[in-house]
Structure 1
Amino acid sequence: MTRRTERQILSDELFKAIFIQLLVETDEELLQLEDLLEDEEDGEEEEEELDDPLSHVLLEALAELYSNRYTIERRSILKTSDNLDLLLHTYKVERPEIFRSFVRMSPEAFDALVSAIEDDEVFTRGDQTPVTHQLAVALYWLGHYGNAASTVKVALWAGIGYGTVRLFMKRVMEAVCRENFRKTVMAWPSDDTKEHAMDWIEENSCEAWRPGWLMVDGTLVPLYSRPAFFNNTWYDRKSNYSMNLQLVTTPDLRIIDFAVGLPGSQHDATAWKDTYIYQNHHTLLKDGEWVWADSAYPLRKWCQAPYKSCVVMN
């Protein structure tokens, strides 16, 4: 259930009081009008009341409520950007292992990601914090879970406002979810890359397995809480609410395709049907080439688990 703020609660109560008071005052005016008509017939006159009706007082209280941003006195919180500056200017250069522990990627990968998204239109609207800072905050947030992932903790660590954390994340996700970004960072491997992958497979297994130069596997991305829509379908076999993520990589762990969005209860054999490779394997993979998979995936000529006793050839 959505949490209601103190302002919303007070506002609703005032609206109810105003509505009821207007009904009461309307009834009183009708009665006074009847009395006035009777007095006029009798030749009597009454003095008019000058006091403001209660409804006006309630309206003024409502106006006062909306004239102030906060209903209680606000006290500023002492914050500093030293942590973020230390991460981006010291750890990134001198201690890359510490940098990686904060943003879950190497400095080289971080710089490459900045270069890929910094020209996106979402970062060109008005004066903004540098993209490096926005990306670092977003990755730091994504790299934590539970209480450590609260916007309060992230905001205090980075020395920014609570709402700014969400704004940075929104911009970064908007940039990386664009179709042109996906096409730029996940192009189909070149012939040299494919040959290098096949060489690695042959060196670490055998010549017969050389054509299996791609690998697919699924993982579950835990969700903070049960989603509001189709809630229980997100409940997975590990007793968590999660999202199914399918990754297709080369042996050096370079991601060349992915599928995400299905609930965690979805089986890998079904979830990976959303990948581009599954839907276009007949044109992407040459005759004899296949994708390595585990026992969760249905065996095909182009998708095999060579350690199985039976391989379906179709």
Structure 2
Amino acid sequence: MRASQLCLLEHFADHRPHLFRKRLRVDPPIFDCILDQISGHAIFQSNSENRQLAVAVQLAIFLFRAGHYGNAVSPEDVAQWAGVSIGSVVNCMNRVMVAILDEHDRFINIPSEDSQEMERVQVFTESRTCSAWRNGVFAADGSSIPLFEKPHIFGETFYDRKSRYSLNCQVCTQMLSANSRRNLPR
């Protein structure tokens, strides 16, 4: 039995944005921005008699599934949450992913190395971390990497807030200048 919970999203967006964010992992204005950017994509146009779901519904299904993990992301569970078929969940995931990937350059914007914005980022990074990371971009802080089992040495220190054994990592990718690239091994 399916009972769509999609109708709740509009109420959540207007009156309980924290619940909207909990379901889709984005704030309502961000959802609207993404929707505006992908709505005109050709993947959502169909000449078939079988009409596609509204782009907003497809995006909501995509974000719900992408923003959850474990049992909650199975196509069956997402289909039940959205009140659609399993095939519709798969189709929505594929269509939205194609539309987002085609809009990559509009969604991802890296300032040029010599811009004022990049200089501000570098100064901020250097002031908050170690100076060696000044030219770093794409930092991820605190990502949890689950471990297969409890480590034998100091095992309890690896127990995290999600009741599992894991490591926290910090990653920083360095942006190389043209001069630095010349010194790379070939």
Superposition TM-score, scaled by structure 2 size: 0.65
Matched, 1:84 2:13: no
Q: Distance in 1 between matches of 2:142 and 2:96?
A: 22
Matched, 1:136 2:60: yes
When residues 154 and 187 of structure 1 are mapped into structure 2, their CA distance, relative to the original with a 3 A threshold, is: same
Alignment of 1:1-314 (within 5 A): 77=1, 79-81=2-4, 83-87=5-9, 89-126=10-47, 127-178=51-102, 181-189=103-111, 191-201=115-125, 204=128, 211-212=134-135, 214-217=137-140, 238-239=147-148, 281-283=176-178
Q: Which runs of 5+ in 1 are unaligned?
A: 1-76, 223-236, 241-268, 288-300, 303-313
Q: Whose relative contact order is higher, 1 or 2, with alpha carbons under 8 Å and at least 6 apart?
A: 2
Letter in 2 for 1:91: F
CA contact (8 A) 1:138 1:172 kept: yes
Aligned-residue CA RMSD (Å):
3.7
Q: Distance in 2 between matches of 1:172 and 1:193?
A: 31
| Pairwise CA distance, 1:86 | 0.9
CA contact (8 A) 1:197 1:213 kept: no
CA contact (8 A) 2:123 2:134 kept: no
Q: Distance in 1 between matches of 2:8 and 2:65?
A: 17
| Pairwise CA distance, 1:117 | 1.5
CA contact (8 A) 1:137 1:168 kept: yes
When residues 134 and 198 of structure 1 are mapped into structure 2, their CA distance, relative to the original with a 3 A threshold, is: same
Counterpart of 2:152? none
Q: Which runs of 5+ in 2 are unaligned?
A: 150-170
For the residue of structure 2 that corresponds to 1:141, the secondary structure is helix
When residues 141 and 211 of structure 1 are mapped into structure 2, their CA distance, relative to the original with a 3 A threshold, is: closer
- The structure that has the greater radius of gyration is 1
CA contact (8 A) 2:3 2:82 kept: yes
When residues 209 and 147 of structure 1 are mapped into structure 2, their CA distance, relative to the original with a 3 A threshold, is: closer
For the residue of structure 1 that corresponds to 2:6, the secondary structure is helix
Superposition TM-score, scaled by structure 1 size: 0.41
Q: Distance in 2 between matches of 1:92 and 1:192?
A: 36
| Pairwise CA distance, 1:158 | 0.9
CA contact (8 A) 2:62 2:93 kept: yes
